[in-house]
């Protein structure tokens, strides 16, 4: 599959890297030679210096008739025009980064109908949705639903009093047939086996039916109280979207933002929330506004280093939980090491959307875990594929993956070695990123877009 990425900025680089690591044939188009050279020197992709909207560039053999054309420059308008032009030059599917919601709010399908954009990528909305999802599950580091909500993945950091610490997993009996799908310990991924044990501070991903997982979450609620009050620092696009989402779910939102215009816009959008025009690093302001009373402090400024400083300052002043949005993927691990509860990379979240789109045809959903070190995939077993009609023990899947949920005839179950895989079943698989393509081949016969 040949995928063309227009724009070698931070997001374009992240998407190209993820696709190249997934063994796709990637072509990157970038006008600025310095940016292009960085991609050329560090990624196994073909680079072209030029304008992604230029007919001369789009008619090049390496670009014309692309399977997927992804435009992620800093300009919404350039991205939209590039996708429309690419369709004229034979691109089968197009993806455009469109941050301005004026283009999408009133008529969500207008871009597809008029410009042929198959996927609209809005990093701020994706980030706000993810933070809202996590906040509404207070004990979670990460939470994702699969199989139309029948199966839930719940990621949590183990407290010191978790009752199964030090017990070999073969002797652990979790309630309601819950499966431990993956363990991250000191940023090292462990596919769990019977002799592995759980340790305090592990990031552990549990999988089970949504109803059972909801009951299981109470084991971690001693760590965080029920969400009632949230303090947001930063009222950019993501901050404004998140504030409105949380308010609709009954959460009292207080927002601190330096920019007066941003404050004005958000104050008109909120009904009950409070918007303060001030400096989020002002200790007196944070103290006066009751930072210790907030159930969570979310740092969403445009500066990664400032977000880290704000989160650490919030912790120092007694904040119960901190969430930080970062742009640079490599900062995700650093944030966890210095005490930030949850760090989310907007680029990785957007890249996950692209990966899910690219891997259609057997792949139903994709979630990137722990800075893209692993993936949670929802696949549909294709008729005649390598695992069709086989039990898990006979399927010969890579050791670096684990099947942790099967939905057969609408019923979700946690499998064992004798569970059968049948065409049409939905299967939730956790896998190291390096073996994802091999797993896809076995389930879907390498069928993509």
Residue-level pLDDT at 264: 95
- The conformation of residue 449, written as its DSSP 8-state character, comes to -
CA atoms within 13 A on the CB side of 350: 32
CA distance 449 to 437: 14
Percent of the chain with pLDDT strictly greater than 90: 48
Long-range contacts of the stretch 23-28 (C-beta < 8 A, 24+)? 23/437, 24/358, 25/1, 26/2, 27/2, 27/3, 27/62, 27/63, 27/66, 28/4
Rounded to the nearest angstrom, the gap between the alpha carbon of residue 29 and the centroid of all alpha carbons in its chain is: 25
Neighbours of 125 (CB within 10 A): 20
Predicted confidence (pLDDT) at residue 53 exceeds the cutoff of 60 = yes
Beta carbons of 185 and 205 less than 8 angstroms apart: no
Residue-level pLDDT at 111: 75
Averaged pLDDT, 331-343: 83
Residue-level pLDDT at 445: 58
Residue-level pLDDT at 448: 44
Beta carbons of 293 and 274 less than 8 angstroms apart: no
Domain boundaries, the chain: 2-121, 144-218, 229-349, 362-443
Averaged pLDDT, 251-255: 95
Beta carbons of 176 and 216 less than 8 angstroms apart: yes
Higher-pLDDT residue of 218, 397 = 397
Instruction: Quickly name the fold that domain 144-218 has.
Output: Alpha-Beta Plaits (3.30.70)
Question: Phi, psi (5° rounding) for residue 429?
Answer: -125, 135
Averaged pLDDT, 298-320: 91
Residue-level pLDDT at 156: 87
Averaged pLDDT, 282-292: 88
Predicted confidence (pLDDT) at residue 355 exceeds the cutoff of 70 = yes
Which of 261-265, 342-346, 444-448 is modeled with the greatest confidence? 261-265
Predicted confidence (pLDDT) at residue 413 exceeds the cutoff of 50 = yes
Predicted confidence (pLDDT) at residue 333 exceeds the cutoff of 80 = no
Token pair of 99, please? Answer: 């941050």
Instruction: Quickly name the fold that domain 2-121 has.
Output: Rossmann fold (3.40.50)
Multiple choice CATH, 229-349, 3.90.550.10, 3.40.50.720, 3.30.420.10, 2.40.30.110 = 3.40.50.720
Is residue 360 very low, low, confident or very high in pLDDT (cuts 50, 70, 90)?
A: low
Least Cα distance to 69 among 11, 7, 21 occurs for 7
By the 10 Å C-beta count (0-12 exposed, 13-18 middle, 19+ buried), 281 is classed as middle
Q: What is the pTM of this model?
A: 0.79
Is residue 329 very low, low, confident or very high in pLDDT (cuts 50, 70, 90)?
A: confident
Domain 2-121 identical in fold to domain 229-349 = yes
Averaged pLDDT, 63-82: 95
Q: What is the pLDDT of residues 146-181, one digit of tens each?
A: 888 889 898 888 888 888 999 999 999 888 778 999
Residue showing tokens 């652990």: 172
Averaged pLDDT, 206-216: 88
Q: Out of 144-158, 260-274, 389-403, which region has the weakest mean confidence (pLDDT)? A: 144-158
Predicted confidence (pLDDT) at residue 412 exceeds the cutoff of 70 = yes
**pLDDT mean across residues, the chain:** 88
Averaged pLDDT, 361-369: 67
Predicted confidence (pLDDT) at residue 397 exceeds the cutoff of 50 = yes
Is residue 447 very low, low, confident or very high in pLDDT (cuts 50, 70, 90)?
A: very low
Instruction: Quickly name the fold that domain 362-443 has.
Output: Alpha-Beta Plaits (3.30.70)
Neighbours of 424 (CB within 10 A): 12
> Which helix (H) or strand (E) covers residue 443, if one does?
helix 436-444
Predicted confidence (pLDDT) at residue 449 exceeds the cutoff of 50 = no
């Amino acid at each position: 599959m040949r995928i063309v990425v227009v724009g070698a900025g931070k997001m374009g680089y992240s998407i190209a890297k993820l696709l190249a690591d997934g063994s796709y044939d990637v072509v990157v188009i970038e006008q600025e030679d310095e940016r292009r050279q960085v991609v050329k020197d560090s990624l196994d992709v073909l680079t072209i210096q030029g304008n992604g909207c230029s007919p001369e560039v789009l008619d090049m053999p390496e670009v014309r008739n692309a399977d997927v054309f992804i435009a992620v420059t800093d300009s919404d308008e350039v991205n939209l025009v590039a996708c429309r032009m690419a369709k004229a030059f034979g691109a089968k599917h197009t993806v455009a980064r469109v941050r301005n919601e004026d283009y999408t709010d009133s008529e969500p399908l207008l871009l597809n109908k008029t410009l042929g954009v198959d996927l609209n990528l809005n990093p701020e909305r994706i980030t706000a949705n993810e933070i809202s999802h996590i906040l509404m599950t207070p004990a979670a580091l990460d939470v994702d639903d699969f199989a139309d909500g029948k199966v839930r993945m719940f990621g949590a950091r183990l407290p010191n009093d978790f009752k199964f610490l030090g017990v070999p997993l073969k002797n652990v009996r979790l309630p309601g047939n819950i499966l431990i799908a993956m363990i991250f310990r000191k940023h090292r991924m462990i596919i769990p086996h019977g002799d592995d044990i759980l340790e305090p501070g592990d990031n552990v991903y549990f999988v089970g039916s949504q109803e059972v997982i909801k009951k299981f979450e109470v084991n971690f609620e001693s760590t965080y109280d029920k969400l009632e009050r949230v303090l947001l620092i930063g009222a950019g696009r993501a901050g404004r979207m998140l504030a409105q989402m949380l308010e609709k779910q009954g959460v009292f939102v207080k927002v601190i933002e330096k920019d007066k215009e941003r404050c004005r816009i958000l104050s008109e959008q909120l009904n009950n929330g409070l918007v303060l025009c001030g400096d989020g690093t002002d200790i007196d302001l944070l103290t006066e506004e009751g930072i210790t009373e907030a159930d969570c402090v979310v740092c969403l400024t445009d500066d990664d280093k400032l977000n880290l400083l704000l989160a650490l300052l919030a912790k120092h002043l007694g904040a119960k939980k901190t969430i930080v949005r970062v742009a640079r993927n490599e900062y995700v691990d650093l944030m966890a090491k210095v005490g930030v509860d949850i760090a989310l990379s907007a680029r990785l979240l957007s890249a996950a959307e692209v990966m899910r789109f690219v891997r259609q045809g057997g792949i139903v959903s994709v979630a990137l875990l722990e800075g893209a070190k692993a993936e949670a995939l929802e696949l549909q077993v294709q008729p005649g594929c390598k695992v069709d009609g086989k039990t898990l023990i006979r399927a010969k899947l890579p050791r670096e993956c684990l099947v942790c949920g099967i939905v057969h005839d609408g019923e979700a179950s946690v499998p064992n070695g004798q569970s059968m895989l049948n065409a049409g079943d939905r299967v939730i698989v956790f896998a190291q990123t390096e073996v994802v393509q091999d797993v896809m081949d076995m389930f879907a016969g390498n069928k993509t877009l």
